[in-house]
Homo-oligomer: A and B are copies of this chain.
């Protein structure tokens, strides 16, 4: 679908919130309350982010989470990498051998790799610190677009979109 999962959206939301208050430690419960998300969900996201070393955790009473690095060193691509992995370590493609040999069209793969690289670079260019400040200048690359059919993450973003077809969240 080329959409971003809700979990990823929550992740950016959470990290952005934490980046806005770098001083204190954030408990999962506190974040859940502040952002209007379910505690188990926030917990799950934070655990995953911790596993990928985007946040550090302090257990026990008065524990909580903090950003593992300065927010300008956590990119959107990092968040996606952490939260989109979900499951499967290898797939039918590597097991069921090559059915694609037909017609030598497999150079398309090379092209997709290029495309992915490009997209990835776009995502790497945006970091959490950028997200904290409302977009003002030309902070992001290439601002002028003609047709920007937007979409919007799930709760945070999409919840307040204008109208029909507002979801979809396709990039």
Q: What residues of B have a CB within 8 angstroms of the CB of A162 in the complex? A: 94
> Which residues of B have CB within 8 Å of A3?
1-2
A131 beta carbon closer than 8 Å to chain B = yes
Q: Are A117 and B145 in contact (CB under 8 A)?
A: yes
Q: How far is the CA of A90 from the CA of B161 in the complex (A)?
A: 11
Contact A92 B134 (CB under 8 A): no
| A93 and B141 contacting across the interface, CB-CB below 8 Å | no
B116 touches A150 (CB 8 A): yes
For the complex, is A156 an interface residue (Cβ under 8 Å from B)?
yes
The reply to whether the CB of A29 lies closer than 8 angstroms to some CB of chain B is no
Rounded to whole Å, the gap between the CB of A87 and the closest CB of chain B is 9
Task: Check if B118 sits within 8 Å of A152, measured CB to CB.
Answer: no
Query: What are 27 A-B contacts with C-beta separation under 8 Å?
Result: A1-B3, A1-B5, A1-B84, A2-B4, A13-B105, A17-B103, A17-B105, A34-B103, A35-B102, A36-B100, A80-B170, A90-B166, A94-B161, A98-B159, A99-B155, A108-B156, A109-B153, A109-B156, A112-B157, A114-B143, A115-B126, A117-B143, A117-B150, A119-B119, A119-B171, A120-B148, A121-B142
